[in-house]
Amino acid sequence: MAVIYTPLRSGTYTLSSGFGPRWGTQHNGLDFAAPHDTPIYSATNGTVVAAGPADGFGNWIWVDSQAENDVDLIYGHMEARDLLVKPGDRVRAGQLIALVGSDGESTGPHCHFEVWTAPGRVGGQPIDPASWLAYALDPAASTPSKGGTAVGWYGDPVWLDVVLRDEGLTVIEAPGWRERGEGDFRNIWGVICHHTGGSRTPATEIMYGVPALQGLLSQIHLAQDGTVTLCGVGVAWHAGMGEYPGLPEDNANWHTIGIEAANNGTEGWSNAQYWAYVKVCAAIVRRLGYAADRVIAHKEWAGRKQGKWDPGALDMVRFRDDVQAQIDHKTGGFLMALSEDKQNELYNLVTKELGYRFQSRARVDGHQSDFRDSLVGYVLEGDKKLFELEQWRRTVDTRLDEVGTKLDRILAALVRAA
């Protein structure tokens, strides 16, 4: 039997409803009440059968774990945007798969969780999830090790494509990236930044390795134009021997996501590559629920033990400040998809356009009007004229009513006189 985890971390939920009769019907699951967007983890290994709309559930995730545990698992009431897996995906125990929602026939935000015996949800029987989870591990559990404790989220970061695109980055998904890796992540502590050593290092080298080191070298490749290529989702051989507070000594590969920037380390960093690097790091640690202190350089991890100096010419103090600013100030608007220089350029352009005084197209007595005003001025002047026109219309309507009343009286008097 594969390892089993509770669907939510301890301290994030309360059990609001159990398995059995409820409101005159059978409640086939266990309800984990929790705030919106609380992480939901895969309870065990399996394959996603369905992920999307389902009657009563709003949206659900159905995982087939027959090969591992002789059960099917159901997670319900997530919002569509918070589903982080799709049908056919292979999920691992402790992997983040969704966020808590309140869609469908729900009494409030919670994760509805069901367990079905063989042959599965179709043909099988529901069992009490509480008994099945009796010896389950907590996804928030720490991994004690020499050099500190790595505490983070368990499972492979299958959400990388979602969070990086949400940050406004151009993302390429290399074929098979979701299946590529040298093992399964444990709890993800943060990010380690690298340079490749060459300005034109292709993503394929990061995906498949070099003669001296075969296999996935890092999960992410960052080109000089800021394009991000997702190379793999499992463990990669990017860190090697090293130490850093909070990480297990010589064992960071299982706890950190590696980013390889195509740069020789001495040429400097273009705006496009630098700000893409900032956004990649910000997107990842924000999703993990951490701050910029979880972003470190390879030289900070492996400098003493391996003599590493990458990423070269990158001031990590300033870099972390920029990452933190990106974490703090991202609003999800389209401007955050632009570099700081582009944002300033757009701001100056908009400011200039708003302040420019345009000539009126009106003609007075056959001659072009010489009236000029800004866009805002025309809008406000138009609003004023519309208000005055409405006032005039109401005055005219009132006068017409008065005239009509007088005409009616005159007509009545003429009729009586006749």
pLDDT 10s digits, 138-149: 776 533 332 333
In eight-state DSSP terms, residue 175 is T
Buried b (16+ CB within 10 A) or exposed e, 146-174: ebbebebbbbbbbbbbbbbebbbbebeeb
pLDDT-derived band at 1 (thresholds 50, 70, 90) equals low
Tokens linked to 134: 């009796």
- Please say whether the beta carbons of 230 and 161 come within 8 A: yes
- Pick the closest to residue 20 from 7, 31, 4, 5 (CA basis): 31
What does the mean pLDDT of the chain come to? 86
Question: What is the SS3 assignment for 220?
Answer: strand
Q: Which carries the bigger pLDDT value, residue 94 or residue 60?
A: 60
- Dist. CA 372–CA 365, nearest whole Å: 18
Taking the domain 152-341, which CATH number applies? 3.40.80.10
For 210-224, what is each residue's pLDDT tens digit? 898 999 999 999 999
> What CATH superfamily is the domain 14-132?
Glucose Permease (Domain IIA) (2.70.70.10)
In the prediction, which pLDDT does 289 show?
A: 77
Contacts of 180 (CB under 8 A, 6+ apart): 174, 207, 216, 231, 232, 233, 234
Cβ-based neighbour number of residue 401 at 10 Å: 10
Tally of CB atoms within 10 A around 309 = 14
Tell me the backbone φ, ψ of residue 135, rounded to 5 degrees.
-115, 25
Give the start-to-end residue ranges of the domains of the chain.
Answer: 14-132, 152-341, 372-417
Q: What is the pLDDT of residues 368-415, one digit of tens each?
A: 777 777 777 777 778 888 888 888 888 888 888 888 888 888 888 888
Decide: 246 and 300 in contact? Cβ < 8 Å: no
| Nearest Cα to Cα of residue 226 among 192, 263, 255 | 263
